[in-house]
Each structure stands twice: as C-alpha cells, then as structure tokens.
Amino acid sequence: MSSELLKPFDRVRALRFDQNGLALLDQRILPQSSQWLPMADADAVADAIRALIVRGAPAIGIAAAYALVLTARAIAARPDAERRAEFAAAAARLREARPTAVNLMWAIDRMLGRWGSNPDPALVQAEAEAIDAEDLAANYRMAMTGAEFIVQGSGVLTHCNTGSLATAGLGTALGVIRAAFAQGKLSQVYAGETRPWLQGARLTVWELLQDQIPACLIGDSAGAWLLAQGKVQWVIVGADRICANGDTANKIGTLSLAVAARHFGARFMVVAPTSTVDFGSADGSAIHIEERDPRELTEYAGVRVAAPGVAAWNPVFDVTPASLIDVIVTERGAVERPDAERMQVLW
C-alpha cells in the first residue's frame, strides 16, 4: 500500500511553527471549540504541556523542540556564558513539565546537543523541524507495518488519543487504524472515552469522524465486556515510554485492556516511534508515573461531582508488562512477543 493513500486521513495538526512563531491548538476545549494559542516563549510552552493544551508523547517532544528555538532566538545576542545558562535553564523547565513520556526528554536532549555544537538559531530551528518531519515519516511507516497484522473483517479497540493531535501528524495507533481502514479491513473501530480527561471521547472520535471512519465510543469500564463479546480482534494503543524489556507505559486504563484482551483471546498491539523507547529504563518499575490533580476526578468541567471531602488518587498512566503485548510496532520494524532480547533490534 502506498503512503499516498494515507494522506487524506492526515488533516489535523496540534501545532504550527511559521514566521509568526509557535502556536498550539488548545486540546482542552476540542471539539467544541477550535482555538490556536500563540506561545510567547519556552516557559509558556512548558505551561501548555503541563496544562495539556498540547499532549501526546511525540507532540509534547516536538512542542518542546520548537520552544527551544524561541529561546535560541531570544538569547542570540547575549554573552556566551549567559546564553549557555539561559538555554540550559529553559531546557530544564521544559523537561519538568511532564515526567512519563520519554519523547519530551529525548527531544530536549537532541536540541541541547544541536545547540551545544552551534548555537546558531537557524540550525537550532532546522533540528526542531527535523524532529517534527521524522516523527511524521515514522508514523506513515508504522501505519503500514502495523496494518499488515490486521486481517479482513477485524474489530479494533483503541484507547486515549494517538492521532494527528498527539503527534506530528497521522498518529501512531490511530495511524495503523487509518491504514487498516483504508485497506478495507476493519469491521468496526471502538474508542474508549479515556477518563478523566476524555481524550478518546473528545479527540479520537473527532479525528475519526472527520475521516469518515465509523467509530463507536465506549465507556472505559465497558472495555472488558466488549472484548468478552468477541467483537474485537486487536486492541491497538500508543505509548509514552517503552522500556528495554518491552514493558510499556501508556494512558491509564491500558493495562486493564491488555489483561482483558489476553483473557478473551484478542491481540494487543503497541505502536510508537523509537523516540518513545527508553533503553535506560530496564523495566516498568523504573518509570515515573505522573499523578495529576485529584480535582480531575472529583470535578467535571469545573463543577464538583464527587461527595465532598473524599480523597482521590489520579495516576494518569499505567504500565503494561511486555508479557501481555503481542507486538510493538516502530518505524524500524515490529517486535513480536517483546522481551529484553528481542527489543535489541531497535537499539
């Protein structure tokens, strides 16, 4: 299948970098409202990453890369020592914005390397653009690789949002779903709502409907019951960090889908570029799982819904052990039944 066939499915962008600077599509208010927010500097981008204005592992890495272009430009005329301190400080503040997705750290490290070898803002910009373009190219490759695993007439279930909004374009898991749909293989796409932030209900379903891909929204708690019906042959998800042994951190709720998929005989696919693979983390126990404000659980749209006074725990990612994953698809190829040895091909 030619990647040209995928282009009609790639129409949304999470960020825009042009002569006017960097702007982010505000993902907090989609799909009800579509608003671009200009970013004044790297600290504004760090705040936007923290607030989930931009989200999704590859997209926050790309946003941080462009943020450091803004910094490189702003400090270009300063004395060398001052410039070094300012660039390092901006990078450190971006790195702290969210802890789990390793793409953020990966992109910042790459930008630090480029700036360190030559602080010319034009070269720094070229590096950010390369990170962006490479992610887009990776998504097209993964879409085609992943779709090869899917047989005619399959039902698929995805979780969170892994589409154009979460990446440079097309998406990771959603890219595979788009390619399989383009090949006429899918009987139905199911999307979990993804409590509490509703990335599935607000973003994934919005992207699929724009592509005329029939999508069926389910409550997160309906996932196991859907799998029990035998209507889903593949659960297909993205990743925020994949460890050296294949253990994978992704949006909270992924683990329970993997357990249910194994129990009911469905297969489980993780789709992520190698910028998400962290060989520095031996296994899932090394991953820092972000915990967000409990009010994301106790309130809905700013209105209190939980009983007053209750405590709440809000981890926003979980770790699926490699033993529950049938295949990890990257732009460098697929790793079936991943473990520490098989993952080495991605090194």
Tell me which residues are annotated as active site: 240
Is residue 233 at the binding interface for ligand MRU, with CB under 6 A as the rule?
no
Structure tokens at 58: 């590859």
Task: Give the β-pairing of 333-336 and 327-330.
Answer: antiparallel
**Pairwise CA distance, residues 98 & 61, whole Å:** 11
Is residue 240 at the binding interface for ligand MRU, with CB under 6 A as the rule?
yes
Are the C-beta atoms of residues 176 and 147 closer than 8 Å to each other? yes
Structure letter (DSSP) for residue 123: H
The amino acid present at 277, given as its one-letter code, is: V
The nearest distance, CB 271 to ligand MRU, in angstroms, is: 8
Is residue 316 at the binding interface for ligand MRU, with CB under 6 A as the rule?
yes
Residues 6 or more apart in contact with residue 343 via CB below 8 angstroms: 242, 244, 245, 246, 277, 279, 328, 335
Given the rule CB under 6 A, which of 14-22, 50-58, 184-192, 225-233 is the region that contacts ligand MRU?
A: 50-58
Are the C-beta atoms of residues 171 and 104 closer than 8 Å to each other? no
Are the C-beta atoms of residues 93 and 67 closer than 8 Å to each other? no
The nearest distance, CB 129 to ligand MRU, in angstroms, is: 19
Residue with tokens 């030619």: 2
Site map (CB under 6 A) of ligand MRU, residues 250-279, x = contact: xx----------------------------
Residues within window 175-194 making contact with ligand MRU, judged by CB under 6 A = none
Is residue 238 at the binding interface for ligand MRU, with CB under 6 A as the rule?
yes
Is residue 281 at the binding interface for ligand MRU, with CB under 6 A as the rule?
no
Is residue 199 at the binding interface for ligand MRU, with CB under 6 A as the rule?
yes
The binder of ligand MRU chosen from 56, 61, 169, 338 (CB under 6 A): 56
Q: If binding means CB under 6 A, how many residues of this protein chain bind ligand MRU?
A: 17
End-to-end, the C-alpha distance of the chain in Å comes to: 27
Judged by CB, which is closer to ligand MRU: 250, or 330?
250
Task: Encode 265-301 in three state secondary structure.
Answer: CCEEEEECCHHHEECCCCCHHHCCCCECCCHHHHEEC
The nearest distance, CB 199 to ligand MRU, in angstroms, is: 5
The nearest distance, CB 200 to ligand MRU, in angstroms, is: 10
The nearest distance, CB 342 to ligand MRU, in angstroms, is: 21
Site map (CB under 6 A) of ligand MRU, residues 139-178, x = contact: ---------------------x-x---xx----x------
The nearest distance, CB 297 to ligand MRU, in angstroms, is: 14
Burial of 19 (0-12, 13-18, 19+ CB in 10 A): exposed
Residues that bind ligand MRU in the complex, under the rule CB under 6 A: 55-58, 101, 160, 162, 166-167, 172, 199, 238-240, 250-251, 316
